[in-house]
Structure 1
Amino acid sequence: MQTKHFIDDPTHLVHTALHSLTLTNPSLALDLENKIIFRKPTKELLEKPKISIISGGGSGHEPAFAGFVGKGFLTAAVAGTIFASPSAEAVRRAVLSRVPTDKGVAVITFSYTGDILNFGMAAEKAKAAGVDTEFYAIGDDVGVGRAKSGKVGRRGIGGSILVLKIACALAEAGGSLAEVYKLTKQVAENLVSVGASMEHVHVPGRSVADPNSDEIIPTEEIEIGMGIHNEPGSHRVSATLPELIKTMLAQLLDPNDTDRHYVDITKDNRVVLLINNLGGVSNLEIGGIVAEVHKQLKEDWEIVPVRVIAGTFITSLNGLGFSVSILKLDDTGLGKGKSMLELLDAPAEAVGWAAAIQTSTWEADNTGTMDKSIDSVEAKPSNLTLDPKQSHEVLKAGLDKMIAAEKDVTKFDTIVGDGDCGIGLKRGAEAVLKELSSGDLPTDAVAFVNKIVPVAENYMDGTSGAIYAIFLNALAHGLREQDSGSSKQVDVKTWTAALKSSVKALGRYTPAVPGDRTLMDALVPFVDTLERTGDVKKAAAAAKEGAEKTKSMKASLGRTVYVGSESEWIGKIPDPGAWGLQEFLVGLADAC
């Protein structure tokens, strides 16, 4: 493991690396505070608006993601600290203030929990503000099979860059938001990747691993399936390069491997081969790896790729490894000039891609910048109305009951979690009460919900805070969808439809469903019962019953999966998040 670095300060390292992109491509600008790289508003962008595509993730994967911002590729990228997702607020600012929104915005990231939640929260907030937005998380890894990955699904690794390139080329060609979203999903579903590495990597500024720990891969071994953040793969082997490639191609292509067989690829298919350097392999060795992969594909699988792309696209700092990706070219149905291959071949001015920056770009007027005020794209008024005083009283009853339950929720979470759930819910509830007590409350139902949203975002920590924030943003969007243009008082039917929409939106960012021992065990029964009966009290009773049932459930998501001994709490302790939510819902129902 290489532990020496020219720059040991991780914050300074990320900031200066982002700044360097504005020096190598004059069409880019940097919002340093929020770590956003974005395209400057050229005359072409302003006169012929197209959909914007935003991606991003933790730093340490360069040139991804900021290195792919430029004409023909991303409109903007948001960076986090090394191996950590950027905040939802930074992504929100990218969507609302750094890119054109006239034709809509596609938020496309890789499939990792932090990125899904934070980019997803920003996407929902953009929708709530009236911006046409789609979100997609790319997963292409087969190194961790279905049995081990479970509901988390495939991770996004090297091949995901092909998805971004093709989607962005369609956007540049004038594709609609719906077309770009559909194509993104289609390309990802025809893509498989697997990585291998000889060593874990060392993050600048962090302590050095114990040489006797599992973080050190023995000299004679190679880890197959290692992720881009040092995550473990399927297994370790002692193998020559030909033996290693044979194993990797089997994971990608063997139809008998039911745990990893995601895409049917045969000799009759046209495919693209991508070899991605994880950062620390010499160009000389990458050349040898490319040749070996191509040789075995042809000889053992009778597959000859129509394109072979090799280089450094998404790294793990200076990781001593590489990934192999195979994309099956499928009919897009978009007509001439918009096939997967044509879009992949389309020019792009991004320093992380192969195409060079054109002379015309260097000589263009690059003095402009995109710096729209977020206030100009805040949520538009709706025609849905409510009684703010009554709504305040009902919410207060639920929030007071949630606050009173803090000791119980904390006790439960101390046993099955990290002990912070009760405090987090109490802090959020108190902040909402304070906000609702300050100043006049809007009669506009969407504006009323949007008044609560930033409180949840700013005062509720951790995963539960992100889930509540996503849900509330989606609730505002769900209400807006029912705005017919004429004034209408919201009723149980209106709220129910909005809640159903919110639960569906939440499903895009978390795999949790009833039975997984999460707050969904209280939320979903509440919404389903409300839809069926129209009775809030019956719905709250269903939520309480759902929370009670979590006592006997085995956790499949969250910290409870690996904290404490199951025998200590099974049958006795409910899920803390579900219990806190049902307390709120019961209090709310009692006040209705």
Structure 2
Amino acid sequence: MKKIINDPKNIVSEMVDGMVRAYPQYIEKVKNAEAVVRSNKDSMKGKVGLVSGGGSGHEPAHAGYVGKGMLSAAVCGQIFTSPTPDQAYAAIKACNQGKGVLLVVKNYSGDVMNFDMAKDLASMDDIEVKTIIVDDDIAVENSTYTQGRRGVAGTILVHKVLGAAAQEGMDLDKLQKLGQDILPNIKTIAVALKAATNPETGKPGFVLKDDEIEYGVGIHSEPGYRREKIKPSKDLAKELLEKLDDEMNLSGDKKYAMMINGLGATPLMEQFIFTHDVLNELEEFGVKPAFTKVGNYMTSIDMAGISITLFEIKDDKWLDYLNYPVETIGW
């Protein structure tokens, strides 16, 4: 294993320290926690707090989306490990402005449990906290760490929409309702060429032969639904869009946002080739996305692979929120 690190035990703390020192205009460290909060406190005044987080290794998620127009704070657990309840509680307190806090939690059992415990801790301080659970991955129904579908790259679009709505002053109940409205319309699926190597263990999550790929992998190297020989990009695009069509009934009469997301070790060159092929396939359905993002938004350390997220836009205001200006590291 070759990594640019020091002591594996200090990876998360040193990463968080590097982020806040590099981007003090956006974020600062939450005291006594591996968490970050907006440094622009004026941007949070009178607003509902929006908090997310999870295990580290998915950068720029989630700390990279803290800033005006997106998250208020984010919690950074150990690599591929849920943050502790006290860390999540510290993030809640750091961004509470008296208007309540909404937690955006990916559907992993540890995350759901620990953020729920943080919610209970906050209630003792009379901080009203509500939660939405993101489960956008359509690859498998149950997998490692989950009961039901996993939360993956679509989480970032949830951050974007809810962050914009919160910045515009939406109250806590309406913000939670907005999250519940958009979640069923956000679907993601991925393919991997190589598993992530966790620097704390030095071992890959799974092993593929040089000519193999795996469809439907998760962001912690969880297994997918099929392994086979590598295919050209256009064939990968066709396979993944067929799965999305099964879920979403793709149609030119509907409006969509699209995110092509690199999983950590996929060059932008390959991401744009894949984007070209996905857009060609979407044309076969009569679909031209109203919003497109391509890049590394929800990674898995050094996993080679890519995911597609489609978001059916059922309200034009959702598109306005996607285009809302932000001040963050990662968007």
- What range describes the TM-score normalised by the shorter chain of this pair? over 0.9
> SS state of the match for residue 189, structure 1?
helix
What corresponds to 1:236 in structure 2?
227
Counterpart of 1:109 (choices 100, 105, 111) is 105
Cα displacement string for residues 313-340 of structure 1 (whole angstroms, at most 9, x for unaligned residues): 1100011011001000012xxxxxx700
**Match for residue 69 of structure 1 among 66, 83, 87:** 66
- Give the structure 1 partner of residue 266 of structure 2: 281
The alpha-carbon deviation at position 136 of structure 1 amounts to: 1.2
Following superposition of structure 1 onto structure 2, how do residues 52-63 of structure 1 map, counting pairs within 5 Å?
Answer: 52-63=49-60
Shift, 1:200, TM fit: 0.9
| Aligned residue type for 1:279 | G
Q: How does 1:42-441 map to 2 (within 5 A)?
A: 42-46=41-45, 49-96=46-93, 98-145=94-141, 152-208=147-203, 215-238=206-229, 239-254=231-246, 261=247, 263-299=248-284, 301-331=285-315, 339-353=317-331
Q: Distance in 2 between matches of 1:286 and 1:29?
A: 32
Distance 1:327 1:343 in 2: 13
Determine helix, strand or coil for the equivalent of 2:4: coil
Structure with a larger share of its residues in strand: 2
Q: What is the CA-CA distance between 1:100 and the residue it aligns to? A: 2.4
What amino acid is aligned across from residue 118 of structure 1 in structure 2? Answer: N
Aligned 8 A contact 2:26 2:329 in 1: no
Return the offset for 1:44. 4.9
Residue aligned with 2:103, SS: strand
* Stretches of structure 2 lacking an aligned partner (at least 5 in a row): none
* Corresponding residue of 2:33: 34
Query: For the Cα contact (< 8 Å) 2:192–2:215, is it kept in 1?
Result: yes
Q: What TM-score does the superposition give when structure 2 sets the normalisation length?
A: 0.94
Please give the alpha-carbon distance, in whole angstroms, between the structure 2 residues aligned to 1:41 and 1:294.
38
Shift of 1:175: 0.5
Question: Which amino acid in structure 2 is aligned with residue 161 of structure 1?
Answer: I
**Aligned partners of 2:120 and 2:79: how far apart in 1?**
25
TM-score normalised over the length of structure 1: 0.54
Partner letter of residue 37 of structure 1? Answer: V
Letter in 2 for 1:241: S
Please give the per-residue CA displacement for 1:264-314, whole angstroms capped at 9, x wherever unaligned: 432210001100111101111111011111111112x22111111111111
SS for the counterpart of 1:64 is coil
SS in structure 1 of the partner of residue 198 of structure 2: coil
SS at the partner of 1:198? Answer: strand
In 2, Cα distance between equivalents of 1:204 and 1:12: 11
Q: Size of the alignment, in residue pairs?
A: 329
| Structure 1 residues 232 and 99, CA gap change in structure 2 (3 angstroms) | same
Where does residue 5 of structure 1 map in the other structure?
Answer: 3
Per-residue CA shift, 1:513-546, capped at 9, x if unaligned?
xxxxxxxxxxxxxxxxxxxxxxxxxxxxxxxxxx
Structure 1: runs of 5 or more not aligned? 255-260, 332-337, 354-592
Structure 1 residue 40: deviation in Å? 2.8
Secondary structure, in 3 states, of the residue corresponding to 1:305?
coil
Cα pair distance change 1:44/1:292, threshold 3 Å: closer
Larger RCO (CA under 8 A, 6+ residues apart): 2
* Contact 1:51-1:171 within 8 A present in 2 as well: yes
What amino acid is the match of 1:9? Answer: D
C-alpha contact 1:11 1:81 (8 A) present in aligned 2: no
Q: 1:80·1:87 contact (CA, 8 Å) conserved in 2?
A: yes
Q: Percent identity?
A: 31
The structure with the larger Rg is: 1
